[in-house]
């Protein structure tokens, strides 16, 4: 049996709804939950902000959306599976509870209704955690394949290098990549300028001079520095330079 991954492009109404909803969730997480609720999908995430009352704060119906993690007592978990169309779980719960009780009729009935799994922040599935997750999702695919079910995945990540290789290695299935070229969200044009320093002084001194020159202009800007230590050093050098100029100013 072939398995595929379907990445869904949200409609404008979904984007607008996610944009106006208030709460601790990010725009991407709210959009993900809205799509899941509308289509009756199940969600799997290791994203902590999605736990607790965050789902309700995002405007989701607590009858339709439920969570199962370590804070939910074992006696209450099957009730969540029965009444909720969208279930948010951690990979640990899927492994230690859901698949460990695969002989339970309620759990089997739930799994047979699952048609799509959303894996949020997929770039965090690395190292030992990533290896365990790879085997975990392969187990789920195998179980549903035995039952004649076709399962689809949606992977969500804003920071991932080489997603083609990464996702195939992690999940072992082909997928369709929706990259920046298909991004329809509104944004300003961005101009990237690469500067080659003259190398007449040390790195921090040259960076400080550049920031000082830019700050002399009318526009406000943000400077991103590699580390907190470098940030403090550059700030200190700039403060001394500016302080020295003020002392020399006859006005």
Residue partners of 2: CB distance under 8 A and separation at least 6: 150
Range of weakest confidence among 33-37, 68-72, 80-84, 129-133: 33-37
pLDDT at residue 97 greater than cutoff 90: yes
Q: pLDDT digits over 65-78, tens only?
A: 888 888 888 888 88
Check whether domain 12-182 has CATH 3.40.50.300, yes or no: yes
- Reported as a pLDDT band with limits 50, 70 and 90, residue 249 is very low
Domain ranges of the chain: 12-182, 203-248
pTM above 0.85, yes or no: no
Please give the backbone phi and psi of residue 227, each rounded to the nearest 5 degrees, phi first: -145, 165
Q: pLDDT digits over 110-167, tens only?
A: 988 888 888 888 888 888 998 999 999 899 888 888 888 888 888 888 777 788 888 8
């Amino acid at each position: 049996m072939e398995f595929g991954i379907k990445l869904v492009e949200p409609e404008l109404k979904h984007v607008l709804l996610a944009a106006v909803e208030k709460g601790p969730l990010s725009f991407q997480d709210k959009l993900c939950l809205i799509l899941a609720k509308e289509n009756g999908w199940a969600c799997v995430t290791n994203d902590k902000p999605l736990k607790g009352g965050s789902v309700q704060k995002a405007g989701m119906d607590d009858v339709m959306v439920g969570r199962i993690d370590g804070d939910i007592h074992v006696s209450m978990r099957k009730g969540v599976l029965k009444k909720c169309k969208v279930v948010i779980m951690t990979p640990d719960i899927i492994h230690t509870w859901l698949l460990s009780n695969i002989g339970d009729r309620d759990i089997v009935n739930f799994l047979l209704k699952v048609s799509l799994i959303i894996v949020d922040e997929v770039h965090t599935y690395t190292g030992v955690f990533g290896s365990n997750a790879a085997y975990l999702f392969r187990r789920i695919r195998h179980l549903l394949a035995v039952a004649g079910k076709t399962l689809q995945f949606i992977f969500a990540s804003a920071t991932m290098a080489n997603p083609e290789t990464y996702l195939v290695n992690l999940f072992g299935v082909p997928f369709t990549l929706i990259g920046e070229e298909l991004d329809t969200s509104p944004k300003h044009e961005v101009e990237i300028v690469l500067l080659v320093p003259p190398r007449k002084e040390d790195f921090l001194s040259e960076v400080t001079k550049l920031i000082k020159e830019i700050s002399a202009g009318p526009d406000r800007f943000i400077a991103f520095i590699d580390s907190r230590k470098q940030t403090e050093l550059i700030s200190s050098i700039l403060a001394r330079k500016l302080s020295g100029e003020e002392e020399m100013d006859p006005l």
